[in-house]
């Protein structure tokens, strides 16, 4: 099977072929750390973390680089507002970022480079651009010269003429071309600054990604990811800087861009004021519900946000978890393992579904990471597994072996999506709670034997208040955290 990815550069799906066999170099634009991330920021984190997991599942060794923009106008402005040192403020939100990422089960990148610790690399690249005639200095500022790079516009599909006509920003008169952009900004009073050949100053926004991706992944690498709004100007400018600097093209072979989160069909953004921070959302829903919700739509489609969507995601995820739990109980319940194996037809039906699931899952993910389809396959497998368990009492050795395979597949495939279905060890390992629950359940069992429904229901309702659900089964009552 071959992986196909939609490449923004070509505007079509292409077969993915890495530069080096068995290895993938991947760069994803990370956040500017001046505040908590919002849900819109969370989407690329989850999407590209899933891309990474699937590449690894497919056997690739992945070098995953995600930067932090820790020097920037927004950071300086925020720092001035709250009276905090900008470098310190940025560092603080880097820490907060890692907490959010962990809640979403987003693994740390191989390397998380920061602008503030790569000044030498950035300055060296600007100098090289200057030497090659792609950059010019004006009174301490350095600009990239658009006309010096003939491919400018190839990612976003604009011609240089289009852009000149469409330029609405106030044009700095000193620039040679309206669209020339800053590589280095001369220091202003009260701003953090670094020494450079052009005097004190700080880097422009785009140069960091060119310098840092080159440092860690080389002149040319496999995948560059980010949100659709970065296509222009950010990624267009990265291409100009990197390819002008090295003379090699392409900077990245595959450009992947995720769609936006919208609220009432409008883009969620800070300027519209319609954003929700991840922290706000995590007060009502767990990180894996948010992750499940984000992956339930293809990554390039827009995704509309509201609570009802997350509630639906929560219930769907719960259904998968229940299926996984019933499976675990069957595997552990010695009483059911009576040796009366199921009819072969029943077993074959489940075995077929199991085989089909593994195959179709890869096919779905190979088709430009179709996580929505991939997740639906887990539902199909869950239904078939539940039906199998529902279809009789005893389980023979062959049945158990099959169920163990199914359980393993559930965990593996859900793991590719970054979702834990099996109860985690830490959640299961609470002997005090277990002991108390055993006691309550046995008391309730005695009440039920005496048909004392009032007492039995009081215990069940009381526990429900504490978010513990009691379910009666022919094998006795069981409980779970709601």
| Interactions with RNA, residue window 94-153 (CB under 7 A) | none
User: 283-342: which residues touch RNA (CB under 7 A)?
Assistant: 296-298, 301-304, 308-309, 311-312, 315-316, 319, 322-323, 326
The residues, ordered by sequence, that sit 6+ positions from 450 with a Cβ below 8 Å of its Cβ are none
Closest distance to RNA from the beta carbon of 131 (Å): 26
Q: DSSP letters of 3-67? A: -EEEETTTTEEEE---SBTTEEEEEE---B-SS--BHHHHHHHHHHHHHHHHHHHTT-EEEEEE-
User: 231-250: which residues touch RNA (CB under 7 A)?
Assistant: 231-234
The residues, ordered by sequence, that sit 6+ positions from 466 with a Cβ below 8 Å of its Cβ are none
Cβ–Cβ under 8 Å, residues 361 and 374: yes
Exposure of 213 in the CB half-sphere (CA atoms within 13 A): 30
Cβ–Cβ under 8 Å, residues 53 and 291: no
Q: Using the rule CB under 7 A, which residue among 18, 113, 227, 418 binds RNA? A: 227
In this chain, which stretch among 128-136, 240-248, 268-276, 277-285 interacts with RNA, using CB under 7 A? 268-276
Report the 10 Å Cβ neighbour count for 199.
14
Closest distance to RNA from the beta carbon of 247 (Å): 26
Cβ closest to RNA, residue 142 vs residue 163: 163
Cβ closest to RNA, residue 149 vs residue 205: 205
Interface with RNA, residue 200, by CB under 7 A: no
End-to-end Cα distance, the chain: 40
Q: Using the rule CB under 7 A, which residue among 108, 120, 147, 157 binds RNA? A: 157
The residues, ordered by sequence, that sit 6+ positions from 41 with a Cβ below 8 Å of its Cβ are 31, 278
Strand order in the sheet with 303-304: 266-267, 261-263, 303-304
Cβ closest to RNA, residue 50 vs residue 296: 296
Closest distance to RNA from the beta carbon of 199 (Å): 23
Closest distance to RNA from the beta carbon of 58 (Å): 18
d(CA 158, CA 211): 24
Closest distance to RNA from the beta carbon of 204 (Å): 10
3-state secondary structure of 429: coil
**Number of amino acids touching RNA (CB under 7 A):** 84
Interface with RNA, residue 460, by CB under 7 A: yes
Closest by CA position to 160, among listed 171, 148, 172: 148
Interface with RNA, residue 351, by CB under 7 A: no
Interface with RNA, residue 163, by CB under 7 A: yes
Closest distance to RNA from the beta carbon of 105 (Å): 18
In this chain, which stretch among 78-86, 109-117, 365-373, 413-421 interacts with RNA, using CB under 7 A? 365-373
User: 39-78: which residues touch RNA (CB under 7 A)?
Assistant: 40-41, 43-44, 74
Q: Is 270 annotated as a binding residue?
A: yes
User: 428-457: which residues touch RNA (CB under 7 A)?
Assistant: 448, 453, 456-457
Interface with RNA, residue 217, by CB under 7 A: no
For residue 320, say if its preceding peptide bond is cis, omega within 30 degrees of 0.
Answer: no
Cβ closest to RNA, residue 61 vs residue 352: 352
Q: DSSP letters of 356-375? A: HHHHHHHHHHHBT--HHHHH
| Residue whose pair of structure tokens reads 């970065």 in the numeric block | 230
Q: Is 10 annotated as a binding residue?
A: no
Q: Is the dihedral of CA 50, 51, 57, 62 positive or negative?
A: negative
Interface with RNA, residue 86, by CB under 7 A: no
Helices (H), 63-203: 73-82, 86-103, 119-131, 160-166
Q: Is 405 annotated as a binding residue?
A: no
Q: Can you name the residues that pair with 304 across neighbouring β-strands?
A: 262
d(CA 455, CA 461): 10
Q: Is 362 annotated as a binding residue?
A: no
Cβ closest to RNA, residue 234 vs residue 253: 234
In this chain, which stretch among 24-32, 79-87, 92-100, 241-249 interacts with RNA, using CB under 7 A? 24-32
Closest distance to RNA from the beta carbon of 286 (Å): 16
Q: Using the rule CB under 7 A, which residue among 3, 7, 27, 32 binds RNA? A: 32
Interface with RNA, residue 169, by CB under 7 A: yes
Cβ closest to RNA, residue 18 vs residue 399: 399
Which segments are annotated as binding site for Zn(2+)? Answer: 29, 209, 234, 238
Which segments are annotated as binding site for ATP? Answer: 270
């Amino acid at each position: 099977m071959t992986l196909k990815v939609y490449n923004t550069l070509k505007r079509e799906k292409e077969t993915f072929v890495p530069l080096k066999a068995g290895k993938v170099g991947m760069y994803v634009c990370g956040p500017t750390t001046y505040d908590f991330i919002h849900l819109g920021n969370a989407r690329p984190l989850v999407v590209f973390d899933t891309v990474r997991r699937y590449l690894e599942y497919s056997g690739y060794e992945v070098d995953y680089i995600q930067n932090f923009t820790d020097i920037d106008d927004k950071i300086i402005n925020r720092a001035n507002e709250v009276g905090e040192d900008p470098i310190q403020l940025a560092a603080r939100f880097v820490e907060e970022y890692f907490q959010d990422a962990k809640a979403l089960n987003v693994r740390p990148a191989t390397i998380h480079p920061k602008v503030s610790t790569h000044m030498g690399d950035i300055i060296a690249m600007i100098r090289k651009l200057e030497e090659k005639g792609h950059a010019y200095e004006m009174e301490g500022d350095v600009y990239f010269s658009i006309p010096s790079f003939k491919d400018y516009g190839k990612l976003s599909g604009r011609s240089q003429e289009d852009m000149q006509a469409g330029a609405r920003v106030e044009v700095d008169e000193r620039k040679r071309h309206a669209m020339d952009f800053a590589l280095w900004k001369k220091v202003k009073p009260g701003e953090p600054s670094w020494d450079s050949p052009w005097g004190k100053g700080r880097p422009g926004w785009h140069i960091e990604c060119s310098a840092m991706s080159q440092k860690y992944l080389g002149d040319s690498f496999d995948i560059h990811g980010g949100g659709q709004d970065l296509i222009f100007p950010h990624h267009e400018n990265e291409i100009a800087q990197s390819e002008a600097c090295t003379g090699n093209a392409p900077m990245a072979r595959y450009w992947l861009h995720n769609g936006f989160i919208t609220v009432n069909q409008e883009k969620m953004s800070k300027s519209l004021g319609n954003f929700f921070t991840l922290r706000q959302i995590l007060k009502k829903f767990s990180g894996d519900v948010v992750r499940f919700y984000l992956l339930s739509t293809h990554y390039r489609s827009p995704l509309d946000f509201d609570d009802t969507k997350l509630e639906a995601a929560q219930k769907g995820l719960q259904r998968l978890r229940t299926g996984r739990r019933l499976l675990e109980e069957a595997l552990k319940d010695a009483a059911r393992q009576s040796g009366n194996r199921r009819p072969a037809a029943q077993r074959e039906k489940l075995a077929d579904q199991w085989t089909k699931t593994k195959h179709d899952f890869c096919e779905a993910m190979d088709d430009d990471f179709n996580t929505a389809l991939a997740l639906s396959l887990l539902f199909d497998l869950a239904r078939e597994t539940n039906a199998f368990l529902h279809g009789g009492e005893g389980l023979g050795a062959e049945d158990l072996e099959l169920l163990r395979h199914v359980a393993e597949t559930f965990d593996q495939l859900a793991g590719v999506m970054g979702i834990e279905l099996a109860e985690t060890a830490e959640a299961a390992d609470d002997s005090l709670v277990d002991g108390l629950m055993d006691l309550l359940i046995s008391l309730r069992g005695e009440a039920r034997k005496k048909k004392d429904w009032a007492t039995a229901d009081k215990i069940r309702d009381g526990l429900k208040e504490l978010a513990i659900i009691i379910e009666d089964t022919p094998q006795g009552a069981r409980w779970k955290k709601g």
